[in-house]
Amino acid sequence: MGNMNKEDISVLVCDDSALMRNLISRIIENTQGLSVCAKAMNGEIALEKIAEAKPDVIVLDIEMPVMNGIEFLRERKKRKMDIPVIILSSIATEGASVTMEALELGASDFLTKPNGSVTADLSSVADRLVELLSSYGFAYAIMHGKDVYEPDFFIRQIKLREAERFVLEQKKEKIEAIQEQNIEKVTDKIVPAAKKIVWNPPEKKTPAVIKPLRDGGRIEVIAIGISTGGPNALREVFKMIDPHLKQPILVVQHMPAGFTKEFASSLNKICPLEVQEASDGQLIKGGNIYIAPGNFHILVEKHAGGNVIRLSQEAQRNGHRPSADVLFESIANVYKNNALGVIMTGMGRDGASELAQMRTQGAWTLGQDETSSIVYGMPRVAYELGAVQKQVPLKMMADAISALAREHL
């Protein structure tokens, strides 16, 4: 039997909009295993409430009176607080720039705000919010002695909600434009009140064994797939990467359109190599890092004069565009055993099956270990499929990548 005596992951919601506080709170309260411990209309009030409320994770707006989100993060840093913070970000270009500043100041991740006037994207926002809160909140809560549900428990709830929404769509039930006065009613349709479910954590599987078609060869390219927990993990890896690395690195980080250019720019400030958002037809050069643009798959195309990047808006894979599976599949086809594939923290299984294909072709592979992953989802599935040659903690990932790249140049 599953343990029904788990504690909730506690969330502090900080936003100057009563409408947004209400919306976010409804999503949280309608999710089993999450609860709102406090609400605040600005950063100053949030700071006052932290000691008593003891949140495991904070949802933080940027634009607020008295003390805005950036000022809150500066104060949090000054006070040496380590409570994870999820930023509520606007879609505007200037929003992307401020969001990256927030990540540089120690925010864990970000969520794109819904428009507030229509419900078209509320369901995806709700699922993403639950994913982020459960992932970062779980990591913080267990570090502080709480007995809370694992992220897989919340994935199950998200999948159940997806199934319910599919049934609603099949019946052609349409959700009308959201109004301030009926937000609770509409949110309940998108995020139904949590039904108590019995939870039995998945059993650990013995990894499959892959017999490569050929031995590992020279490493000509490095490909990384990463999701939840990625913004800060990539900062740690690229800050410490070998400044003399000869190979190019292609990265899929699940991130919305409009943010990846600023993300690449933010990484470029701390990385000894050149980091840029990838563009279609771009010649792949050694010692450069290419970040897949939001809403585009990234692939490699073989050319006599040098391989080039191709961007595609073909259908999502594993619910993502860009998808790590699309990148790894392309690398396996073009480079065979002359590549290094790396799969890191992230919910779900994107990248796992095609990293296994890379391994089958003889490529070298690494996976982030369970202890250092914010969510041990993607790397766990890859490990179970036999796709991961070696599991590496985050703090050693830059060294592990650099050492393999030097050894097999």
- Which residues does the annotation mark as catalytic? 227, 254, 350
- Among residues 9, 36, 8, 33, which one has the least CA distance to residue 198? 33
* Residue 199 in tokens: 């939870």
**DSSP codes of every residue in 214-281:** S------EEEEEE-TTHHHHHHHHHHSS-TT--S-EEEEE---TTTHHHHHHHHHHH-SSEEEE--TT
Q: Are 402 and 272 in contact (CB under 8 A)?
A: no
Longest Cα separation, the chain: 64
Nearest-angstrom CA–CA distance, 187 and 288: 44
> What φ, ψ does residue 114 adopt, rounded to 5°?
-70, 160
Contact (CB, 8 A) for 149 and 26: no
DSSP letter for each residue of 290-352: EEPPTT-EEEEE--TT--EEEEE-PPPBTTBSS-HHHHHHHHHHHHTTSEEEEE-SBSS-TTH
Angle made by CA atoms 335, 344, 110, in degrees to the nearest 5: 120
Give the C-alpha separation, 340 to 245, whole Å.
13
User: What phi and psi values does residue 74 have, to the nearest 5 degrees?
Assistant: -65, -45
**Is the Cβ–Cβ distance between 308 and 282 less than 8 Å?**
yes
DSSP 66: S
